[in-house]
């Protein structure tokens, strides 16, 4: 029977795990609520903008007095709002910053009333309506992806729970079998001692019972030995099952932690990006339309409009996303890693690669390696398609159609002024087709985005298991630091040996600088600590990644120094010297098309692995 102490231990472990999962579930619910709130705030903002321009068009004929009243009305509304969430949005959102600056600018405006009224009604307001429609549609699709990712994450957590319970069960069986084996050994010992302590008998009776006692003793000893052998076999079997179950638990634990980390660090960011897809660019176009009209009414207003123009130019989704995640840090920050929970004195928190499980682990490692190679290639193709589709969408929403200067050309007829541009934005025959193409492209992008995330999630799980098996089996592979002694291998060969497109030191250093160094002054100019540079470099050479713990505990100048030291240490420069002069010669070609052909011809001679690293650096 299971002891009370064990029951308490099992319940304690399960309760701790369930508490951690419960906290994650609460975070996931709050994340969706937060995204819904952002959608509502955005719709409210766009509705306010439409109401604003509609009312502004009505009062343009009354000149600056009514215009001043309008500005004060919306400024008062903004300052005196009781909506707590809207106030939070005002702190973090660049569109709301533009909105406030716009209201301040209105107080000093003087309009060409008829033209501006026509522009507001037939150009700007429809733009905001389209932005609101697009934003709601994209939020809905992004939320669907987010819900799917959350379901996948919870499924991984449930799988970990099942594996943990299986491990507990097999470990308990192993302990019980060991206890029974020890009991059998004690019985054998007692039997031996009893035989030694047999009471001496008289010579008359000794002969008559000697043969009977010998038979009984032999039978008893054989039974005990047979029982011990059975229990020994049972213990060996249960011990093997417990070891395998613990290995499975550790693999699932590593995969779960990787999935949780990826969801909180990468997937949430990508989902917010999808929510903002085209929003800032479209809002930028609408605001630039407004600015174009304003700047052509009176050049004396130029100073006041520069402030608003600057705010419109810095409409930037990444900045707003960062502010949003900082404001709601408690629901977007990753949870603590799941740690190995020792059970009933089993303190071995690492995988066992000793016989008889070594061969099984090696076979599994090889299968994971093959599967990862195939999945990575497939997912890279999906990523390329997704990137091309995203570029197409960005091209659609960044069309520079906000210049309305032609509306202010001198004309003898007001009718001609009105008909110059105000109806052109919505009356173009191609508008419906462009809108349909945009929505179709968005649908395809989200399909590929979902496919990429699912593939990436699977790769993350398999890669975590692969890396843990690799460390356990001790295959001796070193990280691709590519700083071996000069003259033995060139950079291209070392790229092939590493098995990864971007060297680990380059990828890790750039990732760390992106996280903690973009606001740092003097980066790549101020030298770091030579001692710390050498420590980081040596750690990479040993196959470790000292920058992978997502903690800002390294000097950013030292990390930048490691990155510079890596490229300086290459036997051959990243861009071949023999091609550099040819590239510089392309500048003398005046025809842009011919120049691009020459550059393309040069780049085709460079190894693909080098081009991949160069593209990665240019993106950084």
Nearest CA to 403 out of 289, 306, 281, 287 is that of 289
Same domain, 226 and 317: yes
Which tokens belong to 68?
Answer: 């001043």
> Residue 41: which domain range?
4-194+218-332+355-408+431-473
The whole-angstrom separation of Cα 570 and Cα 432 is: 55
Higher-confidence residue of 597 and 217: namely: 597
Confidence tier at 2 by pLDDT (50, 70, 90): very low
Least confident interval from 73-82, 267-276, 602-611: 73-82
Number of domains within the chain:
2
What pLDDT is stored for residue 4 in this prediction? 47
* CA neighbours closer than 13 Å in the CB half-sphere of residue 186: 6
Nearest CA to 342 out of 592, 1, 16 is that of 16
Question: How many C-beta neighbours within 10 Å does residue 207 have?
Answer: 9
- In a domain, residue 348? The reply is no
Same domain, 387 and 500: no
Angle between helices 279-297 and 94-106 (to 10 degrees): 20
Q: Which residue matches tokens 């660049």?
A: 94
Please identify, among 420, 444, 473, the residue that sits at the C-terminal boundary of a domain: 473
- Cα angle: 65, vertex 68, 73; to 5 degrees: 130
Same domain, 555 and 464: no
Nearest CA to 262 out of 547, 453, 428 is that of 453
Please identify, among 443, 473, 503, the residue that sits at the C-terminal boundary of a domain: 473
Nearest CA to 116 out of 350, 319, 408 is that of 408
- In a domain, residue 242? The reply is yes
Same domain, 461 and 505: no
Mean pLDDT of 116-136: 89
5-15 per-position pLDDT tens digit: 455 577 888 88
- In a domain, residue 285? The reply is yes
Nearest CA to 127 out of 346, 262, 278, 23 is that of 278
Domain CATH number, residue 526: 1.10.555.10
Same domain, 585 and 529: yes
- In a domain, residue 525? The reply is yes
Q: Among the residues of 263-357, which ranges form H helices?
A: 268-275, 279-297, 302-313, 317-327, 329-332
Same domain, 165 and 304: yes
What pLDDT is stored for residue 581 in this prediction? 82
- In a domain, residue 372? The reply is yes
DSSP-assigned beta bridge partners for residue 343: 346
Phi and psi at 94, nearest 5°, equal -70, -35
pLDDT beyond 80 at 131:
yes
Mean pLDDT of 424-430: 58
pLDDT beyond 60 at 158:
yes
Mean pLDDT of 540-558: 81
Q: Kindly state the percentage of the chain with pLDDT values over 90.
A: 20
- In a domain, residue 504? The reply is yes
Same domain, 188 and 67: yes
Residue 116, classed as helix, strand or coil, is helix
DSSP 121: I
Q: Kindly state the percentage of the chain with pLDDT values over 70.
A: 82
Nearest CA to 150 out of 262, 18, 275, 19 is that of 262
- In a domain, residue 77? The reply is yes
Residues 6+ apart with CB under 8 A from 314: 94
The whole-angstrom separation of Cα 173 and Cα 6 is: 12
The whole-angstrom separation of Cα 216 and Cα 81 is: 97
131 and 46 in contact (C-beta within 8 Å)?
yes
User: How high does pLDDT run on average in the chain?
Assistant: 79
- In a domain, residue 24? The reply is yes
The whole-angstrom separation of Cα 152 and Cα 140 is: 19
468-522 per-position pLDDT tens digit: 888 888 743 333 333 333 333 333 333 433 445 688 888 888 888 888 877 777 7
564-618 per-position pLDDT tens digit: 888 888 878 888 888 888 888 888 888 887 888 888 888 888 888 888 888 888 8
Dihedral in degrees, nearest 10, Cα atoms 113, 118, 121, 122: -160
Please identify, among 422, 441, 473, the residue that sits at the C-terminal boundary of a domain: 473
DSSP-assigned beta bridge partners for residue 346: 343
């Amino acid at each position: 029977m299971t002891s009370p102490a064990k029951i308490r231990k099992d319940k304690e472990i399960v309760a701790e795990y369930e508490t951690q999962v419960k906290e994650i579930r609460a975070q996931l619910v709050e994340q969706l609520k937060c995204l819904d709130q952002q959608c509502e705030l955005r719709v409210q903002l766009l509705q306010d903008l439409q109401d604003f321009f509609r009312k502004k068009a009505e009062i343009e004929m009354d000149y600056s007095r009514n215009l001043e009243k309008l500005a004060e009305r919306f400024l008062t509304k903004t300052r005196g709002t009781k909506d707590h969430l809207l106030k939070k949005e005002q702190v973090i959102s660049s569109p709301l910053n533009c909105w406030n600056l716009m209201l301040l600018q209105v107080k000093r405006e003087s309009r060409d009333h008829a033209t501006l009224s026509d522009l507001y009604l037939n150009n700007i307001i429809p733009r905001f309506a389209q932005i609101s429609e697009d934003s709601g549609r994209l939020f809905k699709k992004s939320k669907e992806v987010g819900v799917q990712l959350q379901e996948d994450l919870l499924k991984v957590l449930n799988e970990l729970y099942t594996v943990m319970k299986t491990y507990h069960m097999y470990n308990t069986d192993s302990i019980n079998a060991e206890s029974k084996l020890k009991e059998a050994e004690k019985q054998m010992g007692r039997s031996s001692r009893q035989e030694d302590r047999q009471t001496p008998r008289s010579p008359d009776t000794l002969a008559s019972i000697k043969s009977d006692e010998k038979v009984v003793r032999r039978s008893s000893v054989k039974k005990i030995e047979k029982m011990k052998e059975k229990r020994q076999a049972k213990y060996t079997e249960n011990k093997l099952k417990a070891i395998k179950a613990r290995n499975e638990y550790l693999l699932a634990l590593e995969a779960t932690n990787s999935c949780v980390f990826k969801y909180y660090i990468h997937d949430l960011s990508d989902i917010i990006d999808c929510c903002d897809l085209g929003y800032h660019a479209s809002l930028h176009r609408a605001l630039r339309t407004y600015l174009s009209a304003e700047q052509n009414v009176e050049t004396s207003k130029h100073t006041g409009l520069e402030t608003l123009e600057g705010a419109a130019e810095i409409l930037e989704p990444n900045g707003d996303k960062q502010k949003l995640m900082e404001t709601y840090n408690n629901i977007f920050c990753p949870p603590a890693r799941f740690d190995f929970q020792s059970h009933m004195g089993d303190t071995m928190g690492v995988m066992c690669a000793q016989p008889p499980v070594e061969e099984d682990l090696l076979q599994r490692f090889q299968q994971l390696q093959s599967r990862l190679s195939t999945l990575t290639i497939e997912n890279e193709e999906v990523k390329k398609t997704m990137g091309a589709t995203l570029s197409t969408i960005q091209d659609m929403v960044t069309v520079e159609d906000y210049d309305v200067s032609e509306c202010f050309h001198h004309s003898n007829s007001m009718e001609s002024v009105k008909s110059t541009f105000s109806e052109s934005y919505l009356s173009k025959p191609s508008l419906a087709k462009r809108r349909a193409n945009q929505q179709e492209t968005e649908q395809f992008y989200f399909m590929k985005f979902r496919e990429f995330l699912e593939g990436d999630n699977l790769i993350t799980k398999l890669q975590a298991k692969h890396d843990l098996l690799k460390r356990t089996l001790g295959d001796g592979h070193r990280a691709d630091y590519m700083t071996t002694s000069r003259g033995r291998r060139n950079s291209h060969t070392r790229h092939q040996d590493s098995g990864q497109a971007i060297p680990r030191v380059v990828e890790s250093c750039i990732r760390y600088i992106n996280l903690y160094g973009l606001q740092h002054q003097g980066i790549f100019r101020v030298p770091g600590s030579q001692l710390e540079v050498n420590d980081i470099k040596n750690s990479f050479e040993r196959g470790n990644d000292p920058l992978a713990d997502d903690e800002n505990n390294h000097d950013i100048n030292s990390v930048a120094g490691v990155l510079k030291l890596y490229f300086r240490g290459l036997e051959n420069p990243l861009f071949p010297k023999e091609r550099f002069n040819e590239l510089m010669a392309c500048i003398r070609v005046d025809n842009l098309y011919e120049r691009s052909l020459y550059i393309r011809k040069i780049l085709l001679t460079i190894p693909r692995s080098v081009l991949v690293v160069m593209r990665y650096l240019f993106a950084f």
